[in-house]
Chains A and B, each alone.
Chain A
Amino acid sequence: DAGVIQSPRHEVTEMGQEVTLRCKPISGHDYLFWYRQTMMRGLELLIYFNNNVPIDDSGMPEDRFSAKMPNASFSTLKIQPSEPRDSAVYFCASTRGGNQPQHFGDGTRLSIL
């Protein structure tokens, strides 16, 4: 079991640039979640997918954020244009079945200058 794989681990970029975060869920998991973690707001659910279909995107902060899951083994979270307040650690998690424990990736630490 390779676990949830996220890339990159760290990203530093200037404001206004496009940022793309990537996630590979555990094989066989049909739910995928994107979270954002900051000191001020804690852990926030941004969006989640079931069988590659977005189910709830009410946590996505604004139109600058978008997420896709083109197939069962890959998802992206895109920020365009990025702003300093987007700086955070972004976690991806997956699970088999909606009520099972989630398995988290190592996260992407994003810094927008």
Chain B
Amino acid sequence: AQSVSQHNHHVILSEAASLELGCNYSYGGTVNLFWYVQYPGQHLQLLLKYFSGDPLVKGIKGFEAEFIKSKFSFNLRKPSVQWSDTAEYFCAVNAYSGAGSYQLTFGKGTKLSVIP
């Protein structure tokens, strides 16, 4: 079974600091990769996705992620965070599990707190 690991449970940064959230997955086949964001009291929203092509993916609000196949990683980055980026971030991996079925697995999430 596939699994997704997010290395940090809680990250605290000051505004304008750079951000990198780690995500590693275990699955040997073709995957689609996602980062979702959940602002306080809200539902999960898609931040960015990777299906194929350029491994550096740009998403909304200045976020980007790089897929490194050899490391099974899909880390999320932002050069300069803002207070409004305070949220929980989830990495997710979608893998084809046969017979037309896909299995989407979420990481445990990383809480980001940005201090003004």
Contacts and interface: CB of A to CB of B under 8 A. Distances in A.
Nearest to B47: A101
Contacts of B71: none
Interface string A11-34: 000000000000000000000010
Summarize B's interface: helix, strand, loop or mixed.
Answer: strand
B108 A99 contact: no
Contacts of B94: 98-99
Interface in A12-62: 33, 42-43, 45, 50, 55-56
Given A50-B101, A107-B43, 18 more contacts: A42-B106, A42-B107, A42-B108, A42-B109, A43-B90, A43-B108, A43-B109, A45-B106, A56-B101, A56-B103, A93-B44, A98-B94, A99-B102, A102-B46, A104-B43, A104-B44, A105-B43, A106-B42
